[in-house]
Amino acid sequence: MVWGLQTSCKERGIDRRHFAAFLAFIAAVIAATGTTLVAAVLSLYGHARPDPAWEGFNFIVGAIVFASLLVTFFAGLFSRGIRRIALIASTFMVLLMNLGIAASHFGD
């Protein structure tokens, strides 16, 4: 995703599809970083109940990740070529990461 962001940064002014790919790669990096942050915070507590402040942090970051995934997916549909494939695939990979996090804490 970082490689796609660097290459699309140079080409974002060419047309709308390149700009859509640029926005989508930014959103994908935000979604992956947010998912990693939430996984790190939840892994610190194990099966213990976290503080309300951390629950609020996880909720806010989760909302940002969800919005970023929507932007990544729909902007990926408007991009073209290998970028489209990379953006849509990264959307599903981050969704699978979130599903794994949710499944690991099921029943807590």
pLDDT digits (tens, 9 = 90+) for 26-44: 888 888 888 888 888 877 7
Residue type, 85: I
| pLDDT band per the 50, 70, 90 thresholds, residue 46 | low
At a CB cut-off of 8 Å and minimum separation 6, what does 50 contact?
41, 42, 58
Overall number of domains in the chain: 1
Q: What is the structure's pLDDT at 52?
A: 77
Instruction: Compute the distance between CA of residue 25 and CA of residue 46 in angstroms, rounded to an integer.
Output: 32
pTM value > 0.85: no
Q: Are 21 and 79 in contact (CB under 8 A)?
A: yes
The residue to which tokens 């629950």 are assigned: 55
Instruction: Compute the distance between CA of residue 85 and CA of residue 31 in angstroms, rounded to an integer.
Output: 17
Among the residues of 1-108, which ranges form H helices?
Answer: 2-11, 16-45, 52-78, 82-104
Range of the domain at 63: 2-104
